[in-house]
């Protein structure tokens, strides 16, 4: 696997770098960003994988969240993949809408044509990308996962399905119950088909009902988020967590919306949360 360096910027005595590579899983060229803290110069460090939301790329979190300062202090690498496959021949929403196709991979393995040729973001995030990162960079196999909105959905569902691979999970404004939300219903019907029973494997509420190996989870949700009631369904996650006694902390934050101003306000809490659980392994 060859990596091609796109950019490199020194940050808090570490390095933020962007790379491209040819993905065998997604059948296209992909870009990801990695922040390597200064500790990576002398030993392997744990990794937080960050999954971004609809319309985003690897750049949104790295440029807006302000995570590098504390990641440098804590000795945590951050890896941010793109949100979907891209390039010539990659299917997109025929109507040009933002919630399907490019920028909207939903972190699933698509089974329906034409999406199934490229849209296998679940396998990319869980298997291919960590294998690349752990081969080419001074990082360990201690991993945590986090994300925002569609990426929060991805982080929660991946952690619930792959608990042995991650030490902790967190999310900002996640799409908690996509089988009952318009964004999820649109994406899943295209990527997975009309059998709603198959959708449940990518729904945090449904997965939490059957969790076999709970892990620490932190969720922050803004109460002024315009998407809260229709799309995010945080109350459904809170209910199933209470019913199953799943170890998730859900914080409803007054006055905050769906933006990166919200993420930047609480990213320190999330980084310290992950650092604590990564250090316990």
Q: Which residues are catalytic?
A: 149, 225, 258
For residue 79, the cross-strand partners are 34, 49
Please report which helix (H) or strand (E) contains residue 234, including its range. helix 234-244
For residue 145, the cross-strand partners are 49, 169
Report residue 63 as tokens: 């440029």
**Backbone conformation region of residue 167, classed left if phi is above 0, alpha if psi is from -120 to 50, else beta:** alpha
Buried-exposed string 204-232: b where 16+ CB fall within 10 A, e elsewhere = bbbbbeebeebbbbbbbbbeebebbeebb
DSSP 38: G
Identify whether the C-beta of residue 200 lies closer than 8 Å to the C-beta of residue 179: yes
Q: What are phi and psi of 230, to 5 degrees?
A: -85, -40
């Amino acid at each position: 696997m060859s990596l091609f360096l796109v950019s490199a910027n020194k940050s808090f005595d570490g390095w933020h770098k962007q790379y491209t590579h040819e993905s065998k899983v997604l059948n296209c060229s992909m870009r990801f960003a990695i922040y390597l803290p200064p500790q990576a110069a002398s030993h392997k460090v744990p990794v937080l994988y960050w999954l971004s939301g609809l319309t985003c790329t690897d750049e949104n979190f790295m440029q807006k969240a302000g995570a590098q300062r504390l990641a440098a202090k804590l000795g945590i690498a951050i890896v941010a993949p793109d949100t979907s496959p891209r390039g010539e021949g990659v299917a997109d929403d025929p109507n040009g809408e933002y919630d399907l196709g490019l920028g909207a991979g939903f972190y699933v393995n698509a089974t329906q044509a034409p999406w199934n040729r490229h849209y296998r973001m679940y396998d990319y995030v869980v298997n291919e990308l960590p294998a690349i990162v752990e081969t080419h960079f001074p990082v360990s196999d201690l991993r945590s996962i986090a994300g925002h909105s569609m990426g929060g959905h991805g982080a929660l569902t991946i952690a619930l399905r792959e608990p042995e691979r991650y030490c902790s999970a967190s999310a900002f404004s996640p799409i908690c119950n996509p089988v009952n939300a318009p964004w999820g219903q649109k994406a899943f019907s295209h990527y997975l088909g009309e059998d709603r029973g198959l959708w449940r494997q990518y729904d945090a509420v449904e997965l939490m009902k059957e969790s076999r190996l709970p892990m620490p989870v932190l969720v922050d949700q803004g109460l002024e988020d315009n998407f809260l009631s229709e799309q995010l369904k945080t109350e459904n996650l809170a209910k199933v967590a209470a019913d199953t006694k799943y170890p998730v902390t859900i914080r409803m934050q007054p006055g905050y919306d769906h933006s990166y101003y919200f993420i930047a306000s609480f990213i320190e809490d999330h980084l310290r949360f992950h650092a604590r659980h990564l250090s316990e392994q």
